[in-house]
Amino acid sequence: MKISTIFAAAGLMLGLSAPIAQAADISGAGATFPFPIYAKWADSYKKETGNGLNYQSIGSGAGIKQIQAKTVTFGATDAPLTAEELKKAGLVQWPMVMGGIVPVVNIDGVKPGELVLDGVTLANIFLGKIKSWDDAAIKKLNPTVTLPAAGITVVRRSDGSGTTFNFTDYLSKVSADWKSTVGAAASVEWPVGVGAKGNDGVAGNVGQTKNSIGYVEYAYAKQNKLTHVDLMNKAGKHVSPTMAAFQAAAANADWAKAEGYYVILTDQAGEQSWPLTAATFILMHAEPQDKAASTEALKFFGWAFAKGDKMAEELDYIPMPAPVVKLIEATWAKDIKTK
Amino acid sequence: MSSQHSVKVVSPEQSAKARMAILRRLKFSDVIFENLAKAAAYTVLLLLGGIIISLIIGAWPAIEAYGLNFLTTTRWAPSLKPQPILGALGPIYGTLVSSLIAMIIAVPVGLGIAIFLTELCPHWLRRPISIAVELLAGIPSIIYGMWGFFVLGPYLAVHVEPQLIAFFADVPVLNAVFSGPASNLSLFNASLVLAIMILPFITSIARDVFTTVPPVLKEAAYGAGCTTWEVVWNIVIPYTRVGVIGGVMLALGRALGETMAVTFVIGNAFKIQSSIFAPSTTISAAIASEFAESGGLHQSALILLGLLLFVLTFIVLAAARLMLKQLETKQGK
A62 band by pLDDT with thresholds 50, 70 and 90: confident
Give bridge partners of residue A92 from the DSSP assignment: A284
- Let me know: does B268 contact A196? Beta carbons within 8 Å: yes
Residues of B in contact with A151 (CB under 8 A): 181
Does the distance separating the beta carbons of A204 and B291 come in below 8 Å?
Answer: no
Kindly report, residue by residue over A197-255, the tens digit of the pLDDT: 888 889 988 998 889 999 998 888 888 899 999 999 999 999 999 988 998 888 888 88
Listed in sequence order, the residues at least 6 apart from A147 whose beta carbon sits closer than 8 Å to its beta carbon are A107, A110, A133, A134, A138, A139
* B46 burial via Cβ count (<10 Å: 0-12, 13-18, 19+): exposed
Is the confidence at residue A21, as pLDDT, over 60? no
Q: Does A89 touch chain B (CB under 8 A)?
A: no
Instruction: Look at residue A13 in the predicted model and tell me its pLDDT.
Output: 42
Rounded Cα distance, A163 and A168, in Å: 9
Is the predicted pLDDT of residue A41 greater than 90, yes or no?
yes
Q: What is the pLDDT of residues A131-143, one digit of tens each?
A: 999 999 999 999 9
CB neighbour list of residue B253: distance below 8 Å, 6 or more residues apart: B313, B316, B317
In this predicted structure, what is the pLDDT of residue A24? 60
Q: Which residues of A touch B161 (CB under 8 A)?
A: none
> Could you give the CA distance from residue A113 to residue A106 in angstroms, rounded to a whole number?
12
**Can you tell me whether residue A100 is helix, strand or coil?**
strand
pLDDT at B202: 92
Query: What does the pLDDT read at residue B84?
Result: 87
pLDDT at A297: 92
Cβ distance B306 to A13 less than 8 Å, yes or no, reads yes
CB of A9 less than 8 A from some CB of B: yes
Distance from CA of A155 to the nearest CA of B (A): 9
Distance, in angstroms, between B100 CA and closest chain A CA? 22
Q: What is the pLDDT of residue B332?
A: 61
SS3 A282: strand
Using CB atoms within 10 Å of the CB of residue A136, give its burial: 0 to 12 exposed, 13 to 18 middle, 19+ buried.
exposed
Condensed to tens digits (0 to 9), the pLDDT of residues A105-154 reads 999 989 998 999 999 999 999 999 999 999 999 999 999 999 998 889 99
In whole angstroms, give the CA distance from residue A232 to residue B245: 61
Closest chain A residue to the Cα of B156, Cα to Cα: A209
Res A3 pLDDT > 60: no
Say if the Cβ atoms of B292 and A209 lie within 8 Å: no
Longest dimension (CA), chain B: 106
Which residues are CB-neighbours of A148 under 8 A, at least 6 positions away?
Answer: A107, A108, A133, A134, A211
Residue from A159, A168, A182 whose CB has the most chain B CBs within 10 Å, to mutate: A159
Q: Do B294 and A187 touch (CB under 8 A)?
A: yes
Instruction: Look at residue A20 and tell me whether its pLDDT is greater than 80.
Output: no
Enumerate residue ranges in chain B where pLDDT < 50: 1-3, 333
Q: What is the ipTM of this complex?
A: 0.74
Closest CA to B186 of B121, B276, B102, B249: B276
Q: What is the mean pLDDT of residues A256-270?
A: 88
Percent of chain A with pLDDT strictly greater than 70: 93
pLDDT tens profile A288-317: 888 888 999 999 999 999 999 999 988 888
Q: What's the gap in Å between the CA of A271 and the closest CA on chain B?
A: 33
Return residues 122-151 of A near B (CB < 8 Å). Answer: 151
pLDDT, mean over chain A: 87
